[in-house]
Structures are given as C-alpha cells and as structure tokens.
Amino acid sequence: MEIRVLNEADIQEVMTMKEAIQADKEALKLYSEGETEIPLRTNIDVEEFEGQNLYMPGLAGSAAGIKIASVYPNNIRKGISSVPATMIMLNEETGEVSALMDGTYLTRLRTGAVSGAATDLLACKNASVFALFGTGGQAQHQLEAILTVRPIKEVRVFDIDQERASAFAHQMIDLFAEKFEVEIKTVASSKEAISGADVITTVTTSTKPVFDSKDLKPGVHINGVGSYTPDMQELPEEIFAQASKIYLDTKDGVLNESGDLINPLKKGIIQKESITGELGQLVAEKTPGRQTDDEITIFKTTGSAVLDIVVGKAIYEKALELNKGQVIEL
C-alpha cells in the first residue's frame, strides 16, 4: 500500500486560496444536496492537559477520510500549534489509506476558505473595510480569504492581547504586501474595529460577544468562526434578529455545537425559521442571497469533515499530478 505524505509546504505548493474557496463551495453543495455521509464529530475532553480531541470522519460523493484534530490552547506557550491535526484520506475503491497530510494547515486553509466562500456569496461587492477579531493560528487564512474575494483596502485587527495583535499585523503586512494593496493596522477597541466595517470575521475562543451590535454598519457581512461548543459565543445575540439573511455551513453542526446560535434560539430571540439556510443551498441557488446593500448578513460555521474531505481530495489529486510529497509503502 502506497501512502503519499504531504506536509504544509507540499500543500502550499499545490493548493491556492482561490482553489480552496471553490472546493469548499463544492463541499457544502454536496452536503446540502444529501450527497454526503457526515456524522457529527466526536469531541473528547482531555482535562489533565486542558485539551480536546476531535474525530471527524465522513464520505463526500466518492471521497472518504477522517481528520483527527485537537484543541490545546496551552500549546501557544510551548511554541507549537494550539490546533494540531492530521488528515487521513482513503482510497474510495479499496478503503486503504492513500494519503496523510498536515491537518493543521488543512484546517486553517479550509476554514479560511469557507469564510471566503460565504463572503464571496453574501458581502457587498464593493466591500473595502475588513475587521478581524482574533490573531491565533486561524487568523492568517481568514485574512487571506477575505482579501482574495473582495477589494479590501483597510484591515482592522483586534485582539485582547494587543502585543500579539501588533505582531500579527506586521507579519501580515510583510506576507501580503506584494499580493494585495491593503493597509493592515491594529485597533484598540472592538468599537473602533467594526465602525464602518463592511466585513467582520470573529475567530476567537471567547465565551461572550466580542462586539456590540449597536456599532454595526448597515450592509455589513459577518463571519462567525470561533464558537464551536455550546459554551462559546462570539456574536451578540440580538444581531441575529437584526440580520436579513442567516446562513450556516451545516445546520446539524451549528445548531448542536455553537453557543452563537444555541443561546439566542433558547431565549426565543430568533426561531429556527429565521435561519435562511445552509451555504450549500445558496451555492446551488436554491435560497436567496443578498438583495440590497443595506442588508445585514451572517454566516456561522463550526466546521465539518465534508470540508476537510473535499479540500483534502483536491490537494491529493494535485499532489499526484505534480508528484509532490513523500511516498511511503506499508
């Protein structure tokens, strides 16, 4: 059995953000059209080390695989990723393992890309100001995805750790200076971040809202990325009542896992009928998108194995075509 092993550098060589965004759109369309088998992920707490292990198997079309991911916030102090992961791709005909790839980088890529997909489908076409909450391991690809799909001229970065926010902003300026014509700066408050912003992405581990909905600009598009447990909540509850369109990556995932939706639903601030649909339905043009420039739109993602599997398969196929990675035999 041959297994192709792909590290971060290999994946970067074969897969662009634009390609990942398209793969995410295809993945969510497959999911919403019932062409996948994606169980809810299994989360196992590792209390001794304040971590969680997540097991995410699935089948999307004929593509099959499982991602084993972990969330260990204390890893930051050790100088290693707080979200280590490995993606295992299977040969759809034989069930044998066909590839092992850096799941940490894959997670960052496909998660950034899904916000990019939602922004591409829902944000105002002339969006030019982007507010980014959180500067952890996911932040770079969240930023790159939005810059890829909209003509952003100003990025405002906010993090409760101002030193980390400043370091991140400088790194992103160096990284994207040649690719995008954009100003990237830190701000001192959440109000400063979102006032006049056209697109907002929250990618934190917060258990309470990170901004006040009163400060939002009409027509803003919001990506809620960080909340993936019932105890985590980044978005203010009242924003869901203000929104014209509410899209989820998967209803099963978000309604069972994210405090962003669980809490306002429990309190009766919104009803399930207030949810416009899954993003895959919008990709398939079976639900409405933005209709005016004043509408507030929200996309909430908790992640799904369907994204890993479809993006993983695209990476694997390009790696085969370009002969990238290391091949091992078992």
Render 15-80 in DSSP notation, one character per residue: --HHHHHHHHHHHHHHHHTT-EE-PPPEEEEEGGGTEEEEEEEEEETTEEEEEEEEE-GGGGGGTS
Each residue's pLDDT tens digit, 144-192: 999 999 999 999 999 999 999 999 999 999 999 899 999 999 999 999 9
Non-local (6+) Cβ contacts of 144 within 8 A are: 17, 112, 116, 176
Each residue's pLDDT tens digit, 193-215: 999 999 999 999 999 999 999 99
Residue 41: per-residue pLDDT: 78
Domain 2-107+306-329: CATH superfamily, name plus number: ornithine cyclodeaminase, domain 1 (3.30.1780.10)
Question: How high does pLDDT run on average in the chain?
Answer: 95
Instruction: Select which of 25, 29, 67, 318 is catalytic.
Output: 67
Has residue 231 got a pLDDT over 80? yes
Residue 121: per-residue pLDDT: 98
Q: CA of 141: how far to CAs of 20, 28, 110, 111, 115, in Å? A: 11, 19, 9, 8, 9
User: Among residues 330, 327, 317, which one has the least CA distance to residue 65?
Assistant: 317
pTM: 0.92
Non-local (6+) Cβ contacts of 77 within 8 A are: none
Each residue's pLDDT tens digit, 287-302: 999 999 999 999 999 9
Residue 106: per-residue pLDDT: 95
The dihedral of CA 74, 75, 79, 83: what is its sign? negative
Residue 323: per-residue pLDDT: 96
The pair of structure tokens assigned to 5 is: 């092993």
The pair of structure tokens assigned to 21 is: 């965004």
Has residue 39 got a pLDDT over 90? no
Helix (H) or strand (E) holding 157: strand 154-158
Tell me, yes or no, if the two domains 2-107+306-329 and 122-303 fold the same way: no
User: Would you place residue 282 in the very low, low, confident or very high pLDDT band (cuts 50, 70, 90)?
Assistant: very high
Q: How many helices (H) and strands (E) does the chain have?
A: 11, 16
Say whether 106 sits in a helix, a strand or coil: helix
Residue 228: per-residue pLDDT: 87
Contact 139, 115 (CB under 8 A): no
Residue 47: per-residue pLDDT: 95
User: Would you place residue 76 in the very low, low, confident or very high pLDDT band (cuts 50, 70, 90)?
Assistant: confident
Task: For residue 90, list its beta bridge partners.
Answer: 64, 97
- Domain locations along the chain: 2-107+306-329, 122-303
Q: How far apart are CA 202 and CA 187, in angstroms?
A: 15
The pair of structure tokens assigned to 48 is: 């001794």
Q: How far apart are CA 275 and CA 247, in angstroms?
A: 6
Residue type, 279: L
Instruction: Tell me which CATH code domain 122-303 carries.
Output: 3.40.50.720
67 is catalytic: yes
The dihedral of CA 149, 152, 157, 158: what is its sign? negative
Each residue's pLDDT tens digit, 93-136: 999 999 999 999 999 999 999 999 999 999 999 999 999 999 99
